[in-house]
């Protein structure tokens, strides 16, 4: 089983988005050294908690600061973009970092309805819900498979990074995403940290899978929320920061990631115990032994080839330590690299 990282570039209370982005580069270097398989960055817009609205901008600096780890988007929210523009951008990245670039694609907005509207170029009316058509067009650029009479047919040959191409994945948390990924022969990454009931959807993906491009058998990854600390008690304490942010999120209040001490006081005032999972989400929280067992159980549940770990903490050093402990527990093979930024 492969182990990877999904970084949402969390902004801690009292820090800045610039701090969070520098932390993303630092964590990517650490993940490369520890032996993680891939490093994906997410897309979120218009909030004080996450500093990553542009995966296509972050991927290049991350790939340049690392040596071997695969780098990609987790994901690009395609409804905000022109398929041709995404194809052009990611073939450039693939050309600059051959064999290392992933293009994870999603349908969600990654923000609230008003910010979604602000992201539109044409604001005369709401954008159409045509994700299947967008996805088909994007893949056709990579495959040079647009019909002969299509007005954009010639553009596939102009992609600047050819012959290098990114590896496409479909991200999802719903049954429909599993169907699309299977029928289009795509690698599929399921967001268990959003929907903890996705094992049947992963099964549906495998049943619907049709070989395409370089993929002759289904490939499933499951993305999980994980926090690892030396003891279960410490992990639960550190996880209170996310418990508070998600509690407030469910009330429509977006906040930066608070320190655990603040979060514990908040939970006490709410009449909630200082231990437990993330509201409405599955969370793997605990010591290295517990976390390893829970990750293995999750992978088995999904029959996943890979687990992609997302971790949010107030303290960046704590987040680094969580990934270090997890790498040790999962017996990753460190890479002998030194990639300090100038």
pLDDT in tens, 98-139: 999 999 999 998 899 999 999 998 889 888 899 999 999 999
pLDDT in tens, 212-265: 999 999 999 999 999 999 999 999 999 999 999 999 998 989 999 999 999 999
Q: Would you say 13 and 316 are in contact if contact means Cβ atoms under 8 Å apart?
A: no
Indicate the SS3 state at residue 307.
Answer: strand
Distance CA 13, CA 293 (A): 32
Q: Would you say 207 and 223 are in contact if contact means Cβ atoms under 8 Å apart?
A: no
2-226+286-329 has CATH 3.30.450.20 classification:
no
Q: Which two tokens stand for residue 283?
A: 């969370």
Instruction: Count CA within 13 A, CB hemisphere, residue 173.
Output: 15
Average pLDDT of span 312-322: 98
Average pLDDT of span 183-210: 97
Q: State yes or no: pLDDT of 279 exceeds 70.
A: no
pLDDT of res. 127: 87
Q: Would you say 94 and 167 are in contact if contact means Cβ atoms under 8 Å apart?
A: no
Q: Would you say 225 and 257 are in contact if contact means Cβ atoms under 8 Å apart?
A: no
Distance CA 84, CA 157 (A): 12
Q: Would you say 50 and 11 are in contact if contact means Cβ atoms under 8 Å apart?
A: yes
Cβ neighbours, 10 Å, residue 62: 25
Q: Which two tokens stand for residue 336?
A: 């002998």
Q: State yes or no: pLDDT of 56 exceeds 60.
A: yes
SS3 content of the chain, % helix, strand, coil (to 5): 45, 15, 40
At residue 339 the predicted structure's pLDDT band, cuts being 50, 70 and 90, is: very low
Q: State yes or no: pLDDT of 276 exceeds 70.
A: yes
Q: Where are the domains of the chain?
A: 2-226+286-329
Instruction: Count CA within 13 A, CB hemisphere, residue 159.
Output: 30
Average pLDDT of span 145-150: 96
Distance CA 119, CA 139 (A): 23
Q: State yes or no: pLDDT of 54 exceeds 80.
A: yes
Percent of the chain residues topping a pLDDT of 70 = 98
Q: Would you say 308 and 41 are in contact if contact means Cβ atoms under 8 Å apart?
A: no
Average pLDDT of span 275-300: 91
């Amino acid at each position: 089983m492969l182990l990877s990282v999904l970084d949402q570039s969390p902004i801690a209370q009292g820090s800045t988005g610039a701090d969070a982005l520098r932390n993303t580069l630092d964590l990517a270097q650490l993940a490369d050294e520890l032996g993680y398989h891939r490093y994906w960055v997410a897309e979120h817009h218009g909030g004080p908690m996450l500093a990553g609205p542009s995966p296509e901008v972050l991927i290049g600096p991350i790939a340049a600061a690392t040596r071997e780890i695969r780098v990609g988007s987790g994901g690009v929210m395609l409804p905000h973009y022109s398929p041709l523009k995404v194809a052009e951008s990611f073939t450039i990245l693939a050309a600059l970092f051959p064999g290392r670039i992933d293009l994870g694609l999603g349908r969600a907005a990654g923000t609230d309805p008003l910010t979604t509207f602000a992201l539109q170029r044409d604001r005369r009316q709401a954008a159409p819900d045509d994700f299947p058509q967008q996805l088909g067009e994007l893949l056709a650029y990579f495959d040079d498979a647009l019909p002969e009479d299509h007005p954009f047919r010639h553009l596939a040959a102009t992609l600047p990074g050819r012959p290098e191409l990114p590896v496409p994945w479909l991200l999802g948390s719903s049954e429909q995403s599993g169907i699309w990924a299977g029928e289009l022969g795509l690698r599929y990454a399921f967001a268990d940290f959003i929907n903890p009931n996705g094992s049947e959807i992963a099964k549906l993906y495998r049943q619907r899978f049709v070989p395409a491009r370089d993929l002759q058998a289904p490939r499933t990854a499951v993305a999980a929320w994980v926090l690892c600390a030396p003891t279960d008690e410490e992990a639960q304490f550190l996880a209170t920061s996310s418990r508070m942010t998600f509690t407030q999120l469910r009330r429509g209040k977006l906040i930066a990631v608070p320190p655990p001490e603040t979060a514990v006081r908040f939970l006490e005032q709410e009449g909630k115990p200082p231990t437990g999972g993330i509201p409405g989400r599955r969370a793997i929280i605990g010591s290295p032994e517990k976390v390893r067992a829970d990750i293995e159980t999750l992978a088995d549940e999904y029959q996943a080839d890979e687990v992609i770990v997302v971790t949010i903490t107030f303290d960046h050093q704590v987040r680094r330590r969580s990934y270090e402990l997890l790498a040790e527990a999962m017996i990753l093979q460190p890479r002998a690299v030194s990639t300090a930024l100038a």
